Chain A
Amino acid sequence: MSAIRFERVSKSYDSLPVLQDFSLEVREGETKVVLGGSGSGKSTLLKMVLGLIKPDSGRVYVHDQDITHLSERELMPIRKQIGMVFQESALFDSLTVGENVGYRLLEEGTRDLDDVEQVVRRLLGFVGLERAIDKMPSELSGGMRRRVAIARAMVGNPRIMLYDEPTAGLDPITGRTICDLMIELRDLQGVSSIFVTHDLKSALNLASELAVPGTDDEPVVFRPENDDFCLINTRFVILREGRILFEGFDEAMLESKDPYIQEFLT
């Protein structure tokens, strides 16, 4: 069963093609890392999964349900299964961190505020920001805002996560923290995801480490890929001018002789 499927999707803005005859499948529990230059349609394809942008032609499926022509109201239950981390976090700047994370629950009319606070604290604890619950987004650093955005996207335990350049512009340590969160969600919770990025280092980390349950002192342990095991739940996709130039594992991508890929990787 596929979590997300694009079938011959095309999209243009002002007659400028962004995606052309684009087909891609993300299986349950799988992560697709999408690389590509600016304007190659990476963010557009994420927004199509949520129905925020409609394709000009072709079809988009979420959990094998065709969402291409669904109305905003019909899309609401689909969107509840999906969490998205936007490029610049897109936190609501007039709400506190706690209200941002609990937004979906409050909107759904969860009456018990203690329940909402409990969920918010648990998720903020997961991203290591429990102390920031009463802060405003403007008081946080870029990396903290991205982590809050991940916590907000995780409300309701979505089966699909979409990451739009979550590590862009961050220092390597914060980027690594965010990468670890994505690995945890993929390996310990079986979340399917699309990870759009320019950050090759984070992408290679994601494709070469496995999260396993640890001890009480260290609840999660990250094991690097080695001769004993090879990760097959993460594949790379490279876009060029709205088309797929490469699809496969990190090893094949690194060994590719294609000049564009070579240039991209260096």
Chain B
Amino acid sequence: MNFFIQILADVQAFTLLCLEALANLFRKPRYVKDTFSQMDLIGVGSVVIVILTGFFTGGVLALQSASSLKAFGAVNLTGQLVSLSLVKELGPVLTALMVAGRVGSGIASQLGSMLVTEQIDAMRALGTDPVKKLVTPRMVACTTMLPLLTVLADLFGLVGGWIVSFYTLQLNTSLYWSTALRSLDYNHALEGLVKPVVFGFIVGMVGCYFGLRTRGGTRGVGQSTTQAVVTASILVIVADFFLSKIILELR
């Protein structure tokens, strides 16, 4: 019974933290400099891992799909399959998972360390609201940077798919790109951009939540970091299912 009460208490505390972080967008002071600094750390800092993830995912998609498509004599549609899979599903989800691993853990460990060394208490004692100063800038940075990182992952995924199609499947370049781009419409692009906004919010807020509820010194910081990554990854996958369902229903 205690386990369920604990989960309910966590959900309540997480919801309240999210609401407070969102409400802070409309309250002064606004930490614009901190927000840009977080955007740099989260966005620019994740570019390399996102490009590598996108590139090799696109490559492996082309490789695997071609063998199935060959059975139906439809290897020409490899570009379409790669682009639709990447833009609608794999690009947003894999980017979010990579960012959860790199950024979510970083946020949780940084805030956790600040908490156990009483820096958060010192901040409050000096008249600063830690949610406003630490949580809201990270939430904004994650929510705005993840869609941009996803676009990068999609782009390099298509390039990876093209390289595999061209060199190993001997597929014509113009055929690959024309099927890849023609299959995408406005709704697909929108779906591919709405998901990362939600995922970015989840990664940022889960990292902050677990960081701020750290207990028990450096060991606690390690636990918070692990919990943040695991919870954010699960929530991203669960949210992906529900978002896909909602978007399909709305069409």
Highest count of chain B CB atoms <10 Å: which of A80, A82, A93, A107: A107
Q: Is the CB of B118 within 8 A of A76?
A: no
A227 at the interface (CB under 8 A from B): no
Check A107/B127 contact, CB under 8 A, given A88-B117, A90-B117: yes
Q: Is the CB of A52 within 8 A of B125?
A: yes
Contacts of B29 in A (CB 8 A): 107, 109
A108 at the interface (CB under 8 A from B): yes
CA distance A87 to B119 in the complex (A): 11
Q: Is the CB of A86 within 8 A of B118?
A: yes
CA distance A107 to B129 in the complex (A): 10
CB-nearest residue of chain A relative to B29? A109
Check A90/B121 contact, CB under 8 A, given A72-B129, A109-B29: yes
Contacts of B128 in A (CB 8 A): 103, 107
Interface residues of A in 60-117 (CB under 8 A from B): 72-73, 76, 79-80, 82, 84, 86-88, 90-93, 103-104, 107-109
Check A79/B122 contact, CB under 8 A, given A88-B117, A109-B29: no
CA distance A91 to B122 in the complex (A): 8
Contacts of A104 in B (CB 8 A): 126-127
Q: Is the CB of A103 within 8 A of B129?
A: no
Contacts of A76 in B (CB 8 A): 127
Q: Is the CB of B119 within 8 A of A90?
A: yes
Q: Is the CB of A47 within 8 A of B121?
A: yes
Interface membership of chain B positions 109-122, coded 1 if the CB is closer than 8 angstroms to chain A and 0 otherwise: 00000000111011
Chain A residue total in the interface (Cβ 8 A): 23
CA distance A91 to B118 in the complex (A): 9
CA distance A92 to B125 in the complex (A): 13
Interface residues of B in 116-155 (CB under 8 A from A): 117-119, 121-129
Highest count of chain A CB atoms <10 Å: which of B123, B124, B125, B129: B125
Q: Is the CB of B129 within 8 A of A86?
A: no
Contacts of A86 in B (CB 8 A): 118, 121-122
Q: Is the CB of A79 within 8 A of B126?
A: yes
Shortest CB–CB separation between residue B93 and chain A, in angstroms?
A: 32
CA distance A180 to B123 in the complex (A): 26
Contacts of B126 in A (CB 8 A): 79, 103-104, 107, 152
Interface residues of B in 15-32 (CB under 8 A from A): 29
A50 at the interface (CB under 8 A from B): yes
Q: Is the CB of A79 within 8 A of B118?
A: no
Contacts of A50 in B (CB 8 A): 124-125
Contacts of A103 in B (CB 8 A): 126, 128
Shortest CB–CB separation between residue A148 and chain B, in angstroms?
A: 12
CB-nearest residue of chain A relative to B28? A109
Contacts of A109 in B (CB 8 A): 29
CA distance A85 to B117 in the complex (A): 13
Contacts of B129 in A (CB 8 A): 72-73
Q: Is the CB of A79 within 8 A of B124?
A: yes
Q: Is the CB of A82 within 8 A of B119?
A: no
Contacts of A84 in B (CB 8 A): 122, 125
Contacts of A91 in B (CB 8 A): 119, 122
Shortest CB–CB separation between residue A158 and chain B, in angstroms?
A: 10
Query: Of the candidates A47, A87, A92, A108, which one forms a contact with B127 in the assembled complex, judged by CB atoms under 8 Å apart?
Result: A108
Interface residues of A (CB under 8 A from B): 47, 50, 52, 72-73, 76, 79-80, 82, 84, 86-88, 90-93, 103-104, 107-109, 152
What 6 A-B pairs have minimum CB-CB distances, sorted nearest first? Answer: A90-B118, A90-B122, A86-B118, A104-B126, A84-B125, A76-B127
Q: Would you give 12 A-B contacts (Cβ < 8 Å), ordered by A?
A: A52-B125, A72-B129, A80-B127, A84-B122, A87-B118, A92-B119, A92-B122, A103-B128, A107-B127, A107-B128, A108-B127, A152-B126
Known: A88-B118, A92-B119. 16 other contacts (CB 8 A): A50-B125, A52-B125, A79-B127, A82-B125, A84-B122, A90-B117, A90-B121, A90-B122, A91-B122, A92-B122, A93-B119, A104-B126, A104-B127, A107-B29, A107-B127, A152-B126
